[in-house]
Amino acid sequence: MSESRGDTLEGVLNELQGSIPEIEACAIVSVEGLPIVSALPTDVDEAKLAAITAAMLTLGEKAAVELGKGNLEQVNVKGVNGWILVIQAGMNACLTVSTTASAKLGLVFLDMKRAAEKVAQLI
């Protein structure tokens, strides 16, 4: 029996990137901020994206806890040129996605959630 595309962490990222063209980069990062797997354009450094994810988690967690919003579920950052989105992928990892400004966030989140569920099963 052959493995489907989404049976590996790399496959999950490739599937996610393939389903939404506005996704420019995506990565699975441990909750401690270490890169696990990524699908990135050549000008994006994996370690840099992992560090950015870690910094976003730290600040996001602080904001959520300090303002009584409970445990952190996701962090979203919008710049003029697009979004950086981080969501939990199981207990020990996060899924980080970078999109263009024209991305339809509803669709992106839907596919990110599906991908995160697969990641949670694989890690």
Partner 1 sequence: MRKDDKGRIHLKLVFYGPSLGGKTTALRWLYGKVEGLQKGEFTAIEDETNRTLFFDYVPMSAGGRVLFDVFTVAGQKRHRHQRKVVLQGTDGILFVADSSPDQREENVESFEELKLFLGDVLGRDIPIVVMLNKRDLPNRMSRDEMLDLLGLGGNVPIYETIAVQGVGVKRAFQAIAREVILKRMYK
Tell me which residues touch partner 1 (CB under 8 A).
Answer: 30-36, 47-48, 50-51, 54-55, 57-58, 61-62, 65-66, 71, 90-92, 123
Which of 92, 100 has the CB closer to partner 1? 92
- Which residues is 86 bridged to in the sheet? 75, 96
Which of 23, 95 has the CB closer to partner 1? 95
Q: Residue 6 has what DSSP assignment?
A: G
Given its phi and psi angles, is residue 97 left (phi above 0), alpha (psi -120 to 50 degrees) or beta? beta
- The secondary structure of 47-93 as a DSSP string is HHHHHHHHHHHHHHHHHHHHTT--S--EEEEEETTEEEEEEE-SSSE
Q: C-beta of 34: minimal distance to partner 1 in Å?
A: 6
Q: C-beta of 49: minimal distance to partner 1 in Å?
A: 11
Q: C-beta of 61: minimal distance to partner 1 in Å?
A: 7
Which of 80, 91 has the CB closer to partner 1? 91
